[in-house]
Chain A
């Protein structure tokens, strides 16, 4: 799940300066769960923009705005409202915003900040456990990620800032390395903790990331 938070409305208004006719895009996937770009938030945004004197030419909320072909299709389906708009306000993650970028020549504005790939602990509670490093190390650390759950992302044990299981950056946050230690101890696998972890390949996913399925029959065989 991609976790987003809403930008302050004043910031959104500033983005839309000089554009009176706006088309709003919401996302039925992550942004709906995050309550930043679901049906309800899109309707609220429409009302607030109209109260500010804007014309909302149309709104659409669909699964996976990040799906570029899907987005182009939705734009075709809403051709009239899309063509009437000066610009687009996209209420989902940065991937979704850039998906809309591919579907129009007009201006595109983000309504959210994209914060992390998150786990849902319960309604409205999201935490980051994976930072998409491109070379998964979970097998070595009892399925608890040091790259993400340690603030410094270090790989050979806790730093000097650990204190009674909490991180030096915040007493609200667990020290990832204490979690890893406790897990490995419980599993009787502290030998994994003892192993020196060499330099990590931070370019395993070289930005910008790209994955393309190989077609059967290709690839040298």
Chain B
């Protein structure tokens, strides 16, 4: 079988995690439009600083350049993509077809998400699909790996992906979230990236619960860059499953305006360091949300150099 991109310049996410290395991933949010110059700049900036890059799939239900196209672009530029697939915009036929295509273009890691709801985005009158959701998507991929599509038909050439999923450590209530985490593992999830975490004590408690459920899956701590007191207030009030503790909010408020970004960088660098030093988890996922250019600085402050790990 022809796989168009045969040679992988970079080790895969699976190889990194299975070798026991601490995984560092970044994130690329594709633009709204065909001007992809800035995105290419970000990819080039990150491709050697992180092991892999997530590509968001119409993030927050806002229409953008596609995640699959960006994943291929990352491969072409010599980086390693972690393809985010949501179930909001495509039914099972479309998702399966995309996965066949992704596999033939050398994409090896897929992050399975349900997707945000339509009304939170910028196409508020669109028809939501949700033919399936994250747990069923994991199962669907497993079936495809066994050579069958969800219609039960045999595939002429199957797929093989390192199947990822997400979990929200700060979900309220947490019990249904943990049960769903368990179901995702049962459905085939091999590794997890978490929703943004700020309270590291809460994260430790979450990790204890998670490890009790499974000590086989890899869990990477999701970190979103803090940039201003306003952003913190907004996230605490409006983003489900995200909680920035008072101490961090104060640290940001106390910073002079011109040092807010530096403060956010310092906070995240500290969190990364803590994850590594205290062996809290298997990796970190850095979401800089528009500030991708500072990711190398965050890693430098955290003393993380993936070429030396």
Contact = CB atoms under 8 A, between A and B. Distances in A.
A152 interface: yes
Contacts, number: 94
A155 B136 contact: yes
Interface stretch (A72-80, A90-98, A111-119, A158-166): A158-166
Contacts of B177: 157-158
A192 to B, nearest CB: 11
Given A154-B114, A198-B136, A193 B176 contact: yes
Interface string B176-206: 1101101100110000000100000000000
B132 A199 contact: yes
Interface string B146-188: 0000100000000000000010100111011101101100110
A157 B176 contact: yes
Contacts of A162: 171, 176, 240-241
B130 interface: yes
Contacts of A190: 179
Nearest to A161: B240
Interface in B128-156: 128, 130-136, 139-140, 150
A134 interface: no
B179 A197 contact: no
Contacts of B88: 152
Contacts of A159: 114, 117, 133-134
Contact of B117 (A155, A169, A196, A198): A169
B92 interface: yes
B244 to A, nearest CB: 15
Nearest to B131: A202
Contacts of A156: 133-136, 180, 183
Contact of B172 (A154, A164, A196, A197): A164
Contacts of B120: 161, 168-169
A151 B128 CA distance: 10
Contact of B241 (A163, A181, A200): A163
Interface of A: 151-165, 167-169, 177-178, 181, 190, 193-194, 196-200, 202
